[in-house]
Amino acid sequence: MSDVGDPARPGPARPTRRWWLLLALILAVGLGVRLWYLFAYLHPAQVIGDPLYYHQAANLFARGHGWPDPYELKINHRYVADAQHPPLTSALLALPSLVGLTTFLEHQIFECLLGTLAVFFVALTGRRAAGPVAGLVAGAIAAVYPGMWINDPLVMSETTGILACSVLLWLAYRYWERRGYLDAALLGVAAAAAALARAELLLLTLFLVTPLILLARPRAQAGGRLASWRRAVALLVTAGAACVLTIAPWAIYNLARFHQPEYLSTGLGTTLAVTTCDETYSGPALGFWDFDCVLAIPNPPTERSDRDVFYRKVAYSYLGKHERELPKVALARIGRTWGLFHPFQQIRLDTIEQRPIRVSQVGLGSLWVLMAASAAGAVVLRRRRALLLPLVALPGALTVASTMVYGTSRFRAVAEPAVVLLAAVAFTAIRGRFVPRGRHSGPRRPVIPLARPELAPSGETVAPPHPGELTVPLRAGPPGPTVGAGSGPPTTPTGLGPAADGGGPP
């Protein structure tokens, strides 16, 4: 199975019809798994907590009521402006609400469709990062792995976060191949979308977008090194401007309706209040959250931005008195997020958010397997000198965010696409060790090389050859043949590095 395209041109070749048919089958399986989980475990559902917030906020927004606190409106019948959560999840749920699909079940099904769309982008990213087979393997894992779908019928922001991060990863590899201003702008928009899904994902502008653009700086360009840096800075400014412009409407809306400056969310104070207390700094809830902590804080303001500032001050005061405990708490939070600290207790705690214990147990076992495979996949990509940054930046940013708030299984969700992709690289490499090379049909789609392709005298783009290959240098005029290390007829040089549809490192 292979992609077919111009072998002399860098970048991904066009997928074959067979590849698309297999991907369509994988997407059908992924949607089927999500709908089975919905109707087997979560229907009818008790609509409380965050799912109630997202569901009601979507319907209110669709009816033209702006963005109030749904709890206050439902319980106390008063309109209180709110931004407890960033808007993207409820804004997307408002799409079916606009056409009359307003029930919680209909929103659950829509979230399953969004989760299936994330599988599509995971497969596309895998194809760009490591070849067509790796793309299908990544898509297949994403279709059935519980970590990718356990949140979908719950109607939580994790589904939107997974989708936004999957698109961001795909655009990151697309940018690496093209490196144009439009590609930089799309990268900035995707980073903004991730932040509008979950506010802490704004860290991806620092962990992924900025280093990727600087790393992609051309090594040789007319005008010398200074011109190369100028272009990199211009691309970075383009991405930043696109990110700011995407977030700006929501931020301006918030600045106009709150007492205190609020840009993405008014939820940080409340989050810190339930996670910064004696109960979460020691004992069974170490590294987790406890709602009794916020209830113990007297006289919070009603206005949401004032309340956010009030709770933040209380939390910062507690932090200042317990600085020595921060390393212990941070490690516990990371461990809870990645299923390494009291994992079975965490599964029981996750039932607060209506996650079935049996499904969580399967997800935990699958996570451990994929984490081991993803470590191997990172080694494979490193040995191939392929682009690895996006797949490690996403888990890195998520881990840092977790240390700042609290640890829980659902925080890991937005990093699951990177775990799946790295594991798919490892599984594809293992396949390549046991499947004879002669069984691969058609030309193979190479990985994206870490090195920036250089220009030959003729103007044709050529990257450094794969280690172990002997190539004839490309001269001006008609391209010459490539002499491989083995026997066989000469071929036109692709100059794109090692094949990734099963062949391991040399």
Question: What pLDDT tens digit does each residue of the chain (506 aa) get?
Answer: 333 333 333 455 677 999 999 999 999 999 999 999 999 999 998 899 999 999 999 999 999 999 999 999 988 899 999 999 999 999 999 999 999 999 999 999 999 999 999 999 999 999 999 999 999 999 999 999 999 999 999 999 999 999 999 999 999 999 999 999 999 999 999 999 999 999 999 999 999 999 999 998 765 555 677 888 899 999 999 999 999 999 999 999 999 999 999 999 999 999 999 999 999 999 999 999 999 999 999 999 999 999 999 999 999 999 999 999 999 999 999 999 999 999 999 999 999 999 999 999 999 999 999 999 999 999 999 999 999 999 999 999 999 999 999 999 999 999 999 999 999 999 999 987 776 554 444 444 455 555 444 444 333 444 444 433 333 343 344 444 433 333 344 433 333 333 333 333 33
174, HSE (Cβ side, Cα atoms, 13 Å): 20
Neighbours of 234 (CB within 10 A): 13
CB 191 within 8 A of CB 144: no
pLDDT at 318: 96
Cα distance between residue 86 and residue 38, in whole Å: 25
Encoded amino acid at 452, one letter: R
Cα distance between residue 297 and residue 310, in whole Å: 10
pLDDT at 432: 75
HEC per residue, 6-43: CCCCCCCCECCHHHHHHHHHHHHHHHHHHHHHHHHHCC
Residues 6+ apart with CB under 8 A from 246: 188, 189, 192, 193, 196
User: Phi and psi of 449, rounded to 5°?
Assistant: -70, 150
pLDDT at 193: 98
- Which residue ranges make up each domain of the chain? 17-268+324-434
**pLDDT, tens digit (0-9, with 9 covering 90-100), for 421-478:** 999 999 999 987 776 554 444 444 455 555 444 444 333 444 444 433 333 343 344 4
Cα distance between residue 115 and residue 146, in whole Å: 11
Residue 491: strand pairing partners: 482
pLDDT at 282: 94
Cα distance between residue 259 and residue 127, in whole Å: 48
pLDDT at 223: 61
* DSSP label of 462: E
Per the structure block, which two tokens stand in for 377?
């996949």
**pLDDT, tens digit (0-9, with 9 covering 90-100), for 111-157:** 999 999 999 999 999 999 999 999 999 999 999 999 999 999 999 99
Give the DSSP H or E segment for 454: strand 454-455
Q: Is 318 exposed, middle or buried (0-12, 13-18, 19+ CB in 10 A)?
A: middle
Give the DSSP H or E segment for 461: strand 461-462
pTM: 0.84
In the chain, what's the furthest Cα-to-Cα distance? Answer: 81
244-253 in b/e burial notation, b at 16+ Cβ within 10 A?
eebbeebeeb
Cα distance between residue 445 and residue 455, in whole Å: 21
Q: Please choose, from the candidates 148, 154, 161, 147, the residue with its C-alpha nearest in 3D space to the C-alpha of residue 89.
A: 161
